[in-house]
Chain A
Amino acid sequence: MNLALTEEQEMLRKTSRDFLTEKCSKKFLKQMEECETGYSKDLWQEMAELGWMGLAFPGKYGGGDMSFLDLAVLLEEMGRACLPGPFFSSVVLGGLSILDIGNEEQKQEYLPELIRGERILTLALTEPGYHNYDASSVTAEATRDDSNYVISGTKLFVPDAHIADYLLCVARTKPRNGITVFLTDAKSPGTKCTVLKTIAGDKLCEVVFDQVPVPKANILGRLNQGWSAVQKTIQRAAVGKCCEMVGNIQRVLEMTVDYAKERKQFDHPIGSFQVIQHYCADMATDVDGARFSTYKAAWMLSEGLPCTKEVAIAKAWMGGACQRVFALAHQIHGAIGVTIEHDLHYYTRRAKAAELTFGDVDFYREIMAREMGL
């Protein structure tokens, strides 16, 4: 057992932190939230040149041959910086799923472009009325039409669909009523995308598929039996979100402690008062618990070990930990923390969005209950 990062991972952490500190200022965040696309093409290209998109992909597709655990380190730094844009969608939701279940031809076609920063991917899974991540709530239909399929239905909370080139669309295939993952061209006629206004200012979309034709060759993985691959994607996404949140709340802890050291009342820094100290200690405990449970799940995923239970622990813990951490962070920051003049709100808003996506606390508690044989 060893909880330390490798030298290589430490270096990745340092270089990515330095890069993001320089490039991802709060002013930039504000611009990205306000602008239509929600990301900067220049920054996107720079990230690709740094090898970030390809980090966890095999070298033969232009990737860096590193592991999911290495990617976890990078995701933590992105969470720490509140990095906006389609990295998570393209790499964690799109690219790694293609790597998992795509055939060689598909991998050759999509992965090198993604890795070079030339293509944006995302996952169209959830739907209106969809709450639990189970197969039965997928209602978008793909109907066989000669050698092609025609997709109709509405997907909701699809991240970055408005700028995506391809969507991994999870649909119910007729006539067999199974679940199949399709790679669809996001710009194809019949695909209509509307950006929603969200708490995090990220770009979650409604995507309406109206008779969208998809060639059979664009089936990703197995026809009618795609759900297990989707589950794996959900699992990986949940852990990926946890990694981002570790970076987020770690930074919030640091900001809060710094503020408590500086802010004076009654002639003393408020951080010298025990009640504030105890709040900070509680935050640190939640952050450390989140870090270890998240990295344990990330390590197991990375090693290819079964980790249903560990993912449930990480994401369920993270949800509760975020709620507690932000309640205290705001309490300690006082009124300035609830204004847009202070940076804290960027973290607060993103943490809530992350908590709600890819399974919330109740969802994973139920998975845990099943794992316990209850």
Chain B
Amino acid sequence: MDFSFTEEQGKFRQGVRDFLEEEIKKGYWEPACDAWVQGFNPEFTKRVAQRGWIGLTWPREYGGQGRSHIDRLILTEEMLRYGAPAACHWFGDRQVGGAILSFGSEELKKEFLPRIVKGEAYFGLGMSEPGTGSDLASLQTRAVEDGDYYVINGQKTWTSCASFSEYFDIYARTDPEAPRHRGISEFIVDAKSRGVSRIPMIDITGTEAWNDVFFDNVRVHKRYLVGEKNRGFYQVLHQLDYERSGMERLMGNYPLFEAIIRFAKENGLSRDLVTRNKLAQLQIEFEVGRLLIYRVALVMEEGRAPNWESSMSKVYCTEFEKRLACVAMEILGPYGQLKWGSKFVPLRGMALHSYLGSKGYSLQAGTTEILKNIVALRRLGLSSS
């Protein structure tokens, strides 16, 4: 057992911090909550790519660095600590690249991985549909073979980063006769394809958080089928394990955490026993969450896909993010209700944004309820009736 980081890892962390501090100092961007999924900054993504920090764990032959999952966790932890605008590359880096790497053909790997690594291919996800949330196997989008092509029809929803996405990683039914888990396939669809359209959805904070994405007779060449036909459901489970695995589940609103601690100190509120107690408890919970996530990275480092481990950490951590937002609102009192841009608004409106925005954290990428099912079934061996 060893809870320390190597000297090399420490240097790497410092290198990431230096880079991000320099970026802030130059005024390129301001730290923000949820910037990993809402901060679209192609120039930033380019600069991150130049350092080789996208696809960090991927093999060198596809442009990656072949580094460890702990290194990647260090990198993302610092990105989140500084609230860096990493949304352009986040999905490709976190999960779509990995999915292509695990299941895609050599041709697909060569086409996409080097471009993701260079910060030149942005991805959105097409899993959920209007009638399909937690029960993902019920999806209705169809892909019908037509010569060398599949013709895709249907609607995806809750697609993050869709306005900026150049590609969608989507799941569609390819065999409606088969048992529903065994008739789904995964495709990469160019967002510029004829028949693809998007309608933005505004979230509770007033931000364009997602899009509805429509597919109207979209023709996709067969080489953009990822993995085996009709194996898409099993592939998406694998991909979701990675989607849930990261530090963004704990640190999505980290800039608020730092800001509210500073605010409490500067305003003498931290002398109040109740406030001290609340903030200390948050810090304790934060540190425990961090350990649960590092455990996930160690599982990946062993070469296993994290399964119940990432479900557990995501459940725990998204609940933490909600509590953090609640405590921040309590500490700010009536000022907490002021929106960004208002006279008297404290902490650039981060508390309000996070309080509202965090309601969605425990829904995306597997609801808390689905994830607890996974822990119960896979970790504890309980079975459903």
The answer to whether A365 has its CB under 8 Å from any CB of chain B is yes
A40 to chain B, nearest CB (A): 32
CA distance A274 to B298 in the complex (A): 29
- Who on chain A is nearest to B375 by CB? A281
A300 to chain B, nearest CB (A): 7
Which A residues lie within 8 Å of B375 (CB)? 280-281, 284-285
- Contacts A278-B372, A289-B291, A289-B316 given: A1-B2 contact, CB under 8 Å? yes
Which B residues lie within 8 Å of A5 (CB)? 1
- Contact with B294, one of A1, A6, A369 (Cβ below 8 angstroms): A1
B246 to chain A, nearest CB (A): 16
A343-368 toward B: CB 8 Å interface, digit per residue (1/0)? 00000000000000000001011101
Is the Cβ of B369 less than 8 Å from the Cβ of A292? no
A287 to chain B, nearest CB (A): 10
The answer to whether A4 has its CB under 8 Å from any CB of chain B is yes
- Contacts A282-B372, A368-B283 given: A277-B298 contact, CB under 8 Å? no
Interface residue ranges of B275-323 to A (CB < 8 Å)? 276-277, 279-281, 283-285, 287-288, 291-292, 294-295, 298, 312, 315-316
Which B residues lie within 8 Å of A282 (CB)? 372
A241-268 toward B: CB 8 Å interface, digit per residue (1/0)? 0000000000001000100110000001
The answer to whether A94 has its CB under 8 Å from any CB of chain B is no
| Size of A's binding interface in residues, CB under 8 A | 47
- Contact with A3, one of B1, B279, B382 (Cβ below 8 angstroms): B1
Which A residues lie within 8 Å of B280 (CB)? 316, 365-366, 368-369, 372, 374
A38 to chain B, nearest CB (A): 32
Is the Cβ of A257 less than 8 Å from the Cβ of B288? no
- Who on chain A is nearest to B384 by CB? A272
- Contact with A369, one of B277, B373, B376 (Cβ below 8 angstroms): B277
Is the Cβ of B287 less than 8 Å from the Cβ of A293? yes
Write 23 A-B pairs (CB below 8 A) sorted by A numbering: A2-B298, A3-B294, A3-B295, A261-B381, A261-B382, A268-B385, A272-B385, A274-B384, A277-B372, A277-B377, A278-B372, A280-B375, A281-B379, A281-B380, A292-B288, A293-B291, A316-B281, A365-B281, A365-B284, A368-B284, A369-B280, A372-B283, A374-B270
B-side residues, CB < 8 A to A, are: 1-5, 70, 261, 264-265, 270, 276-277, 279-281, 283-285, 287-288, 291-292, 294-295, 298, 312, 315-316, 369, 371-373, 375-377, 379-385
A-side residues, CB < 8 A to B, are: 1-6, 9, 69, 253, 257, 260-261, 268-269, 271-274, 276-278, 280-282, 284-285, 288-289, 292-293, 295-296, 299-300, 312-313, 316-317, 362, 364-366, 368-369, 372-374
Q: Which 6 A-B pairs have the closest CB atoms?
A: A277-B376, A272-B385, A281-B375, A374-B270, A368-B280, A292-B291
